[in-house]
Amino acid sequence: MSQPFTTRRWYADVTTYQWMVLAIASAGWVFDTFEGQLFNITRADLLTDLLAGQEGIEAAKRRWGDIFLAVFLLGGTIGGIVFGALADRFGRKRIMSVTILVYSIFSGLTYFATELWHVAVLRFLVAMGVGGEWSVAAALVAEVFQPAARARASGIFHATSVLGTWLAAVVGMMVVDQWRLAYVIGVLPAMLVFIVRSQLEEPTRWRESVAMQPARGTFREIWEDPRWRWHALLGVLLAGVGLGTFWGVTVAGQDLAQELLLKLGRSKAEAAESAKFAYGFVLTAGSGIGLLSFGPLAERVGRRSAFAIVQVLSLVMVPITCFLPRSYETLLLLLPLYGMLTISMHAGFAVYFPELFPDRVRATGVGICFNGGRLLAAPILVMSGELKARLGVGQAVSLLSLLFLLGLIVVLFLPETKGKPLPK
């Protein structure tokens, strides 16, 4: 007699400790995102203060804003690779604590900045901690959870970044134009270190890797092995597409809203405020749903197919959102789906990149993939500004969405990891 068909929930065998690991890793990532967004929230007031008295202040603000963003991307790249390698050598728990302290302390020190170069140095150091924390936390979650729950747990981990964005927005509204106070609040995540140190244990996989092969976590080891080198190069390209389209396409949802409102006759100030709402709450809510959805989708159809599906749908959705709306209300209806599709692949990085590398170099490989993508995204960011100035927002964003075609090509060459154990 056949047994009745039953479907076990993915979380049925998840232990209390595993939930705690997910919560702590996610908290680190929330504050990670918070520290990154804090500058975007306070940038106008900070630069107005530090550039006071100079001629051409508006042009200088735009120029220095781009410089600080480039510095942040560079710091995140170096931090992700360096701290990822250190985590493979000295452990996830210890290095995660270091990265949280780095981004919290140097964010807090921004309170004392009186020169532009002070901000540049501090943003670089904050970015090192930000890039490093994601690399370590993504590896930790993947190693702690069993295969049946790993994709969904990793997706949840990355999706919590939305909370960091909202938290930065709330702090920005609290401090108004007193930008230095925001960076005092930026020190508070350092308290998470006490929880990390007291509650987390090193993953069994990592401890066994230490016992078997003490020399671990080097960029050279990845580069010298053809399989890991190939995975790293393709991972960097895939992350470059995701991060490039984030800055060029997803974030441009705010520009699309502002341009439409100006065409409808709204004042510049009113258009700017309504566009912030459209992006900061409406589009971001859809982004959160997309990030949460990627893990279940990847578990159902496979990692490669999940990346392909969201990129194909993005290629369709972006021009619709750019050219269809004739009213602000219509745009608000489209933006959640726009955000959901264009950013969902970011959760896939947390799901997929740890599955591409063995225990001894996992955090290093994850750091190379995700943070190497930041460097590829930097020229895309510059190009997006030029395209928007020459073509208009709608045409420029639609053109930039063709980057998803490159992502589809990259996916063709990547391995499928669904249902397979993590490499040892």
In this predicted model, what pLDDT tens digit does every residue of 144-194 receive, in sequence order? Answer: 999 999 999 999 999 999 999 889 888 888 887 899 999 999 999 999 998
Q: What are phi and psi of 186, to 5 degrees?
A: -65, -10
Residue 237 three-state SS: helix
Average pLDDT estimate for 10-38: 93
What's residue 184's pLDDT? 93
Q: How much is the pLDDT for 172?
A: 82
Taking the C-alpha atoms of residue 272 and residue 247, their distance in angstroms, rounded to an integer, is 18
Element (H, E) at 339: helix 328-343
12 φ, ψ (degrees, to nearest 5): -60, -35
- pLDDT-based confidence at residue 320 (cuts at 50, 70, 90): very high
Distance CA 354, CA 135 (A): 9
| % residues pLDDT > 70 (the chain) | 97
The set of residues, in sequence order, having a beta carbon less than 8 Å from that of 193 and lying 6+ positions away, is 97, 100, 101
- Identify residue 417 by its one-letter amino acid code: T
Helix (H) / strand (E) containing 423: none
- Burial of 110: CB neighbours in 10 Å, binned 0-12, 13-18, 19+: buried
Tens of pLDDT along 346-374?
Answer: 999 999 999 999 998 999 999 999 989 98
Q: Is 80 exceeded by the pLDDT of residue 46?
A: yes
pLDDT band at 7 (very low <50, low <70, confident <90, very high): low
Instruction: Return the pLDDT at 107.
Output: 95
Residues 275-291, mean pLDDT to the nearest whole number:
90
pTM of the entire predicted model? 0.89
Distance CA 20, CA 200 (A): 8
Q: Domains of the chain (ranges plus CATH)? A: 14-203 (1.20.1250.20), 216-424 (1.20.1250.20)
